[in-house]
Chain A
């Protein structure tokens, strides 16, 4: 363990030790929530304080892969990412939507405060799922792209591992929407979203760096 420590000449203060990525701390999520300068794993504000509080990064993890598992499309799962889309698009960052269930409707996005000009929709042929996976990998590897939302048809643990690797090389946040729980997933965060008439039930299935399995309730935006 000590042999792989970085340059020993650097004076080791407690602060530098705490910020070292080699150190894993169980109570990290509480630190993240209390201090804003959690520099080694900065989070992106999700726009929902309750959700931010139960994620160890104080928001969405940056440069990582997130899985959102829903029983069906269109049951409110997009509501979770709308504030994130708004923040990133207004900063002039590029957002790719890969093989969405259908074309996103620009007037609605504009109403939600999202700069629709920053959104690019990639719809590969659904007959060849490989193309969608290839597009996702290339988009995640690209640093110019800040966020990739993807709706893959077919997904295995191996695919997720590759995409997670691509996301960390490209320093891009990737959010995968799918229906089934993939065993041995190496995604940094797994959320399950169930909805009913009253609102959304968001359950944290897995969050790297935290043992907590929180479940929160978010109200639906009403018409």
Chain B
């Protein structure tokens, strides 16, 4: 028997014939090291590439799930390739031909349902890296023996190797166009010129070095339900049911070292759609007590539209569990940011009052008073990273800023707010924002009244004809 190189009986393409290399032992028998040579099947689907990263990830996951029916060891190789081990399933499916047929049968309808062309580039070889390169080059070959990899890969252009642009230019300038050119060069020199990573890449293709892959694992899903023996109308009883489900959930989370970030509860009714309770967690948790309090808060404010027959719980969003680490001495603990301590309280407040009712404060480096300080709904990700910056000015600002400036009236020629006003300091001119369409041109003063209030007032500066310049109250100091 010789080392075989088939054209994979795949798509009718050109057949590459590589002269078989026949390694012989002195006894004339084929050398085997007692281990079965692995066989990796690679699929490349360039049509998957879209601009929508989210859709792309979803499609990759769908294909990986599908490939899971052919092999236990599937890996997604971004952006558009997949590689899976088939040696262990070769006998079960009855040969590579059958595997290929099954793949085609399952993949084509999926691609069609997305409206994509049904071209599949595929290759199989003893190393995952070589299979991927061959598939990406559109070679459609099957290589059984590692000895044949060199010649099969030789014809591929070096640009196929994933590497930075600078390095591919360097290769091109050195006159190295195909992998074959690289095989002819001494290893030592290659390593010196192109780095150990590059040589490692070549070694992984040839199987000289093991190339580990990251097996795809489908995302976890927890779903559990509970049916009551009778229709329940009391939220107290519902809470007992929910507690049992939460105990199951927390058990699941503990076993898998996960924490939930989004929990959906559905209360099922007869002859009508279920009531959904969605609990969004700012901080991933697996604390049963905290979840119970959140569910209780939700149930407290809930008006049941109909008696409840059962409860269902579903969790799709998880994060790896992170235990909080306390220092041994207990000294550093006081200085740690205590965000994880306050989060449960804020989540409970949001569960009852609505998300918008809980805000943190935003301080921007901005001269327009309205933009410099605002509220930011707690837990929203927009601008959260740089929410506190130094104030733009050192001039005194009021602790309370009115949501809208309040027009001040005048009595006997003097400004009046609760009593007549006396200017204490000013003016501070703020004239900015012309580029944004919210131009302000104002002179700000600090004024005091007889009640002891210190007010931040401004005088408009827009001299539009026929309109009087008005005074407004904008803030109260403390």
Query: Known contacts A82-B478, A106-B388, A111-B397: does B375 contact A75 (CB below 8 Å)?
Result: no
Contacts of A117 in B (CB 8 A): 360-361, 387-388
- Asked if B202 is at the interface of the complex by the 8 Å CB criterion, the answer is no
Instruction: Write the nearest CB–CB distance from A115 to chain B, whole angstroms.
Output: 8
Among A141-184, those with CB < 8 Å from B are 142-145
Contacts of A104 in B (CB 8 A): 361, 399-400
Contacts of A75 in B (CB 8 A): 451-453
Surface stretch bound by B, among A9-17, A50-58, A132-140: A132-140
Per-residue A-contact encoding for B436-450, CB less than 8 Å = 1, 0 else: 000000000010111
Instruction: Write the nearest CB–CB distance from B260 to chain A, whole angstroms.
Output: 21
Instruction: Write the nearest CB–CB distance from A72 to chain B, whole angstroms.
Output: 6
- Asked if A41 is at the interface of the complex by the 8 Å CB criterion, the answer is no
Among B400-426, those with CB < 8 Å from A are 400-403, 418, 422, 424-425
Query: Known contacts A76-B478, A144-B338: does B375 contact A109 (CB below 8 Å)?
Result: no
- Interchain CB contact under 8 A, A121 and B359: yes
- Asked if A131 is at the interface of the complex by the 8 Å CB criterion, the answer is yes
Contacts of A110 in B (CB 8 A): 363, 388, 390-391
Contacts of A195 in B (CB 8 A): 451-453
- Asked if A213 is at the interface of the complex by the 8 Å CB criterion, the answer is no
Per-residue B-contact encoding for A192-209, CB less than 8 Å = 1, 0 else: 001111111000000000
Contacts of A144 in B (CB 8 A): 338, 341-342, 345
- Interchain CB contact under 8 A, B342 and A94: yes
- Asked if A222 is at the interface of the complex by the 8 Å CB criterion, the answer is yes
Interface size on A, as a range, is 35 or more
- Interchain CB contact under 8 A, B342 and A107: no
Instruction: Write the nearest CB–CB distance from B263 to chain A, whole angstroms.
Output: 20
The answer for the CA separation of A94 and B358 in the assembled complex, in Å, is 14
Query: Which secondary structure characterizes the binding site on chain B?
Result: mixed
- Asked if A67 is at the interface of the complex by the 8 Å CB criterion, the answer is no
- Asked if B180 is at the interface of the complex by the 8 Å CB criterion, the answer is no
The answer for the CA separation of A10 and B12 in the assembled complex, in Å, is 95
- Asked if B222 is at the interface of the complex by the 8 Å CB criterion, the answer is no
The answer for the CA separation of A143 and B453 in the assembled complex, in Å, is 35
- Interchain CB contact under 8 A, A105 and B398: yes
- Asked if A74 is at the interface of the complex by the 8 Å CB criterion, the answer is yes
Instruction: Write the nearest CB–CB distance from A111 to chain B, whole angstroms.
Output: 6
Contacts of A73 in B (CB 8 A): 400, 476
- Interchain CB contact under 8 A, B424 and A222: yes
Contacts of A145 in B (CB 8 A): 342, 345
- Asked if A78 is at the interface of the complex by the 8 Å CB criterion, the answer is yes
- Asked if B454 is at the interface of the complex by the 8 Å CB criterion, the answer is yes
- Interchain CB contact under 8 A, B391 and A119: no
- Interchain CB contact under 8 A, B357 and A106: no
The answer for the CA separation of A134 and B397 in the assembled complex, in Å, is 32
- Closest A residue by C-beta to B389: A110
Binding site for B on A (CB under 8 A): 71-79, 82, 91-94, 100-112, 115-117, 119-125, 131, 134-135, 138-139, 142-145, 194-200, 220-223
Nearest first, the 7 closest Cβ-Cβ pairs linking A and B are A195-B452, A144-B341, A74-B476, A106-B363, A106-B373, A78-B478, A108-B397
Q: A93-B338, A222-B424 are in contact. List 17 more A-B contacts (CB 8 A).
A: A73-B476, A92-B335, A103-B374, A103-B403, A105-B400, A106-B361, A108-B398, A108-B477, A116-B363, A121-B359, A138-B349, A142-B345, A144-B345, A195-B452, A197-B452, A199-B452, A223-B454
